[in-house]
Amino acid sequence: MNVGIVGSTGYGGVELHRLLSNHPFVGDCILYSSTLNGVSYAEQYPHLTDLSTESVRGIQVDEMKELDVVFLAVPAGISKEMTPKLLGGKARIIDLSGDLRLKDPKEYEDWYKGEAADTSVLSEAVYGLAECNQEAIKEASLIANPGCFPTAALLALAPLIQQKLVQPGSLIIDAKTGLSGAGRKPSLSSHFSETQENLRIYKVHEHQHTPEIEQQLKLWNPEAAPVTFTTHLIPMTRGIMTTIYGELLTDQTTEELHELYRSFYSGSPFVRIRPIGQYPCTKEVFGTNFCDISIKVDPRTGKVTIVSVIDNLIKGAAGQAVQNMNLMFGLEETSGLHYYPIYP
């Protein structure tokens, strides 16, 4: 398969390049940039010296349409313009941005503060939460790859919500992220002096991933209600942890819920349900496509606590995109994604 990466100079793009360069079924991997043409990729990323011999090319839509897959690793606001130009060609498209995830254009306008993609494009886009939407993903020509926080939160919640075991409206999703989630372009809030030895809450009740989480919860259970979702910046490069609290509707024990989760994810090679009493940390999934989950009931309060961790650049972005590509092309779901976590 021949693939292209738009936004190849960004963090999502360089992670896609790493995974696709080591993928057994990928041939050419063409690197596109909106600002550079003919510049060596290893010059942009010196850790690839003698490993990457490619140069970055200017965006060429006609050429991209003839590839097998085009990954759009570009900021929100770009792919909604680019996707209509690519649709109808040979290439299947996987968009890593938030442009095509929300089905209701009004939701996009409210949360992303910009004009939504055309409704015909939105209706063609399949939400690429790989563990939960496989049949649609296999047939899709356009994938809206999930956001990093929704991936961690939704995988942690899927069994509970689908089984209607928690009080709708009681859910609190408390998330922490490393700084690479903000992309390569530096800003004041990602400045070393502003972030090291510091912990900061941000976008309180305004995070653009809130409607994405709620949209999927409602598809699983029409009675699902708005969630409380908060995000915090942690002085580390990669990793997301979500700690989720919800009120149980029945007297479930930890053992029962643990068994439910194990059985729900028994066919999912990238979701690891931890043994009872063991809680995952971000380092234990660093550099991999895993999502590790733990669950515990508090009989005193009748509440359940679920913890999930992912590597934001892999399961939260490039890795899930490659997993979706594998599903779309009938390959083993794990092709090119067999990495052990880098530890310590």
Ligand X SMILES: NC(=O)C1=CN([C@@H]2O[C@H](COP(=O)(O)OP(=O)(O)OC[C@H]3O[C@@H](n4cnc5c(N)ncnc54)[C@H](OP(=O)(O)O)[C@@H]3O)[C@@H](O)[C@H]2O)C=CC1
Ligand Y SMILES: CC(=O)N[C@@H](CCC(=O)OP(=O)(O)O)C(=O)O
Nearer to ligand X, 105 or 302 (CB): 105
Site map (CB under 6 A) of ligand X, residues 284-313, x = contact = ----------------------------xx
Q: Where are the alpha helices (DSSP H) in the chain?
A: 11-21, 41-44, 61-65, 79-86, 105-112, 119-124, 134-139, 148-162, 192-195, 210-220, 254-264, 319-328
What values do phi and psi take at 293, rounded to 5? Answer: -135, 140
Instruction: Compute CA distances 70 → 27, 185, 307, whole Å.
Output: 13, 22, 33
Q: If binding is defined by CB under 6 A, does position 181 make contact with ligand X?
A: yes
* DSSP state for residue 264 in the 8-state scheme: H
Which one of 4, 181, 239, 280 is in contact with ligand Y (CB under 6 A)? 181
148 belongs to the catalytic site: yes
Instruction: Quote the CA–CA distance of 119 and 126 in Å, as a whole number.
Output: 13
Our finding on whether 97 is near ligand Y (CB under 6 A) is yes
- Could you identify the residue written with the tokens 């890593």? 96
d(CA 247, CA 239): 27
Whose tokens are 């979701």? That residue is: 271
Tell me whether residue 3 or residue 297 sits nearer to ligand X (CB atom).
Answer: 3
Peptide bond into 344 cis (omega under 30): yes
231 binds, among ligand X, ligand Y, none (CB under 5 to 8 A by kind): ligand Y
CB nearer to ligand X: give 5 or 248.
5
Which residue of 3, 4, 5, 11 would you call a contact of ligand X, by CB under 6 A? 11
Q: How far is the CB of 10 from ligand Y (least distance, A)?
A: 10
Task: Work out whether 147 is an interface residue with ligand X (CB under 6 A).
Answer: yes
**Which residues, other chains included, contact 190 with Cβ-Cβ below 8 Å and sequence gap of 6+?**
179, 182
Contact segment (CB under 6 A) with ligand Y among 3-11, 22-30, 124-132, 176-184 equals: 176-184
Sign of the torsion formed by the C-alpha atoms of 312, 313, 317 and 320 = negative
Distance CA 264, CA 260 (A): 6
Asked if 177 is part of the footprint of ligand Y (rule: CB under 6 A), the reply reads yes
Q: Nearer to ligand Y by C-beta: 27 or 202?
A: 202
Q: How many amino acids of this chain bind ligand Y (CB under 6 A)? A: 12
Q: Which stretch binds ligand X (CB under 6 A): 75-83, 124-132, 293-301, 329-337?
A: 75-83
Could you give the CA distance from residue 157 to residue 169 in angstroms, rounded to a whole number? Answer: 13
Residue of 131, 55, 171 lying closest to 315 (CA atoms):
131
Please tell me whether residue 12 binds ligand X under the rule CB under 6 A.
yes
CB of 240 to ligand Y, least distance (A): 9
Query: Does the protein bind ligand Y through residue 236 (CB under 6 A)?
Result: no
As measured in angstroms, the least distance from the Cβ of 313 to ligand X is: 5
Apex 224 CA angle, 220 and 228, nearest 5: 120
Q: Which residues are catalytic?
A: 148
Residues binding ligand X (CB under 6 A): 6-7, 9-13, 33-36, 73-76, 78, 96-97, 147-148, 180-181, 183-185, 312-313, 316-317
Residues binding ligand Y (CB under 6 A): 76, 97-98, 147-148, 177, 179, 181-182, 208, 231, 233
